[in-house]
Structures are given as C-alpha cells and as structure tokens.
Amino acid sequence: MATGAGTIGGLEAVVLAAGSGLRFGGGKLLAPYAGAPLLNAALAAAFAAPARGVTVVTGADAARVTAAARAFDPRVRIVHAADHAEGMGASLRAGIASLPDDTTGVFVFLGDMPRVPVAVLQPLAEALAAGAPAAAAVFQGRRGNPVLIGRALFEDLLCLTGDAGARAVLQRLGDRLALVEAPDDGVLFDVDEPQDLGVRPA
C-alpha cells in the first residue's frame, strides 16, 4: 500500500511503540495530545512518508496500542516485540525482521514524537535514492528523528541489543550519513513526562 505522495522504490515505515513509558507513569502513547492519542501524531507522520506501508511495533500495553493504531488507519501492520522489555533495540529488531524481502529502506519513527515535520520526509528518501546508506533529520546541528536506513544496514540493526536504538549504527557511518535540515525542532521533541503533553510549537 502506498502511503505518502511520491513513493520512492521499496521504502517502508516503522513506528516504534513498544515502550512502557515508565517516566511518564505508563500509558504514554495513549495519553491525549491535541485531542487524540499521542500515538496518532506519529502515525500521521509515518503515513505521510513516501513509503509503501506502515508497521507499528508493539510491546507494553500491546492490545490497547494495537487498537489505537488500527483505529487510526486499518491498513497498519502490527508486529509484537515479545522481548520489548530489553529496550529499543529489541523493538527495532522486530520491526526490521518483519519487513518484506524487497524492502530497500526503512523510515524509523518513534511513537512518542508527535511533532515531526513532514517536510523532511521526501528529502530523506531522495538522499537514500542518491546513494547515501542512511539519512537523518537535523535541526540546528542536532540530529533527531525520523531516520531513513538503507537495506545494507539491516543486518547491523538486527544485531542491536539494549536500549541504544540505531544511534551507534548511524554514528559509524560518519560523513556518509546524509543530513536533512528540518524546518523546526519537531525532529527533536519527544514526550517523556505528562507535562510535555502541553508543549506546542511556538
């Protein structure tokens, strides 16, 4: 299923939504943000990406997160990370392992990042199409999310452990990592605690 306009090659989008939200007090991804569950904003960004499909990786609170994701868009694929308590590495492994064999790259979105500017998505895809092994959004010199990771790095992602996510894999690329400047700090903003839900763009 094609999602965002201008789909390039065999790109997929994965939304990591497996965390327990301990610092938040639990139930973070279903907490209200802008009149809807927090997860909806990340899903909206994922469906705006130039990707064929969107996969949500569940873990803690899997049944409710699954229901919320399917209520947002029934086309979403659901993958459960049974070992999600290990950390983000486990969620990312589960998401990558579930992708179709002909996937050429994967957008990685975080379920607790509700302000991703969709303007960065097509440039990320274009950077990968131009030969970069991966591309990342940046704002004022700080690298954020989402990232787009090419197939050549999938094996490295499948070896991830702990809560590090893809950071170490991307750091090893050095200047081969394509950087896409974002129009605002939405690529850096995530929700950690309940008071963060009230933060809106200026």
Q: How far lies 100's CA from each of 12, 13, 54, 128, 188, in Å?
A: 9, 12, 12, 18, 29
Instruction: Specify the amino acid at residue 97.
Output: A
Which pLDDT band, with edges at 50, 70 and 90, does 20 fall under? Answer: confident
Percentage of the chain exceeding pLDDT 90: 74
How many folded domains does the chain comprise?
Answer: 1
Asked if residue 136 belongs to a domain, the reply is yes
Question: Tell me, what's the pLDDT at 202?
Answer: 38
Asked if residue 1 belongs to a domain, the reply is no
CA distance 172 to 193: 31
Supply the CATH number for residue 75's domain. 3.90.550.10
Give residue 19's region: left, alpha or beta (phi > 0; psi -120 to 50).
Answer: beta
Question: Tell me, what's the pLDDT at 195?
Answer: 81
Q: How many CA atoms lie within 13 A of 186 on its CB side?
A: 19
Residues whose CB falls within 8 Å of the CB of residue 36, separated by 6 or more in sequence, listed in order: none
Average pLDDT across the chain, whole number? 91
CA distance 91 to 200: 28
Asked if residue 160 belongs to a domain, the reply is yes
Question: Tell me, what's the pLDDT at 196?
Answer: 84
Q: Is the pLDDT of residue 200 over 60?
A: no
Q: Is the pLDDT of residue 29 over 80?
A: yes
Give the residue-averaged pLDDT of 96-122: 97
Give the chain's count of helices (H) and strands (E).
Answer: 6, 9
* Token code pair at residue 58: 């569940």
Q: How far lies 102's CA from each of 20, 47, 134, 193, in Å?
A: 32, 19, 17, 38
User: Which residues span the domain enclosing 167?
Assistant: 11-191
pLDDT in tens, 66-96: 999 999 999 999 999 998 888 888 999 999 9
Question: Tell me, what's the pLDDT at 149?
Answer: 98
Question: Tell me, what's the pLDDT at 8?
Answer: 62
Asked if residue 201 belongs to a domain, the reply is no
DSSP reduced 3-state for 95: helix
Asked if residue 196 belongs to a domain, the reply is no
Asked if residue 186 belongs to a domain, the reply is yes
Asked if residue 57 belongs to a domain, the reply is yes
Question: Tell me, what's the pLDDT at 162?
Answer: 76
Asked if residue 4 belongs to a domain, the reply is no
Q: Is the pLDDT of residue 1 over 50?
A: no
pLDDT in tens, 135-172: 999 999 999 999 999 999 999 999 988 777 788 899 99
Question: Tell me, what's the pLDDT at 4?
Answer: 54
